[in-house]
Amino acid sequence: MEQSAVRSPATGTRSSASADATQEIGRRIGEVAEPGTVLALVGPLGAGKTQLAKGVARGLGIASVVNSPTFILMNEHVGRLRMYHIDAYRLEDPEDAIAAGLIDERQVDGVTVIEWADRLAGWLPDERLEITIDADPEDADRRILRWRASGDRHTRLADGVLGRS
Ligand SMILES: Nc1ncnc2c1ncn2[C@@H]1O[C@H](COP(=O)(O)OP(=O)(O)OP(=O)(O)O)[C@@H](O)[C@H]1O
Ligand SMILES: [Mg+2]
């Protein structure tokens, strides 16, 4: 029988003890991210998605302030690579936003960071690094980061920065 070329995604779990530690994880991602990286961030309000995005920006050498682009859907920042920062929280019609080019091939030159990525579920590129951030019920400042990478580029990135376990 022919072997399938489709490999199962790589996964791992990390914990972060503070907002700074989450930013530091983001910074290391930004430092080594290659063009075409898609970072899909999932997690409830206040999970730390923007903290991670701020770190990515720092790692990319971006000087401008990175906040959740809640009202304009996408912010573009210029650094070593461009960072496209999307927040899908208030998207009323994801299909419409996708049709309007919210995620498109122009972003292959940079790093796309998507908060509330689960709201764009069916429209996300197959190749991506997805990080789900959850609170730790026993420690207000701790977060559990579960990652799942598909495609060589994103698997390399996750293995290098987050590690499997
Ligand atoms: N380990 C941690 N990692 C990240 N943030 C933490 C951590 N511990 C505490 N925090 C705090 O949690 C908050 C996270 O806010 P942030 O804006 O990053 O969340 P978010 O997931 O982007 O929320 P939203 O969905 O509202 O955009 C910050 O106030 C941060 O200081
Ligand atoms: Mg946010």
Query: Tens of pLDDT along 149-161?
Result: 999 999 999 999 9
Q: Which residues contact residue 40 at a Cβ distance below 8 angstroms, ignoring those fewer than 6 apart?
A: 114, 117, 124, 128, 129, 130, 131
Atom of ligand 1 lying closest to residue 54 CA: 18
pLDDT score for 165: 79
Cα 7 to ligand 2 centroid, rounded to whole Å: 31
Q: How far apart are CA 16 and CA 27, in angstroms?
A: 13
Q: Are 120 and 91 in contact (CB under 8 A)?
A: yes
Point out the ligand nearest to the CA of residue 116.
Answer: 1
Answer whether residue 4 shows pLDDT above 80: no
Going by alpha carbons, the residue nearest to atom 14 of ligand 1 is 48
Q: How far apart are CA 109 and CA 84, in angstroms?
A: 10
pLDDT score for 70: 63
pLDDT score for 31: 98
Query: Tens of pLDDT along 18-49?
Result: 999 999 999 999 999 999 999 999 999 999 99
Residue whose structure tokens are 């920062």? 85
Query: Tens of pLDDT along 86-141?
Result: 999 988 888 888 888 889 888 999 999 999 999 998 999 999 999 999 999 999 99
Pocket test for ligand 1, best of 50, 54, 116 (most atoms within 8 A of CB): 50
Query: Tens of pLDDT along 51-91?
Result: 999 999 999 999 988 887 666 788 999 999 999 999 999 88
Task: Name the pTM for this structure.
Answer: 0.94
Going by alpha carbons, the residue nearest to atom 24 of ligand 1 is 45
DSSP assignment string, 42-53: E--TTSSHHHHH
Task: Tell the CATH superfamily of the 14-161 domain.
Answer: P-loop containing nucleotide triphosphate hydrolases (3.40.50.300)
Point out the ligand nearest to the CA of residue 14.
Answer: 1
Q: Are 12 and 129 in contact (CB under 8 A)?
A: no
Alpha carbon dihedral 102, 109, 150, 40, in 10-degree steps, equals: -40
Residues with CB under 6 A from ligand 1: 16, 18-19, 21-22, 43, 45-51, 68, 89, 115, 141-143
Cα 8 to ligand 1 centroid, rounded to whole Å: 30
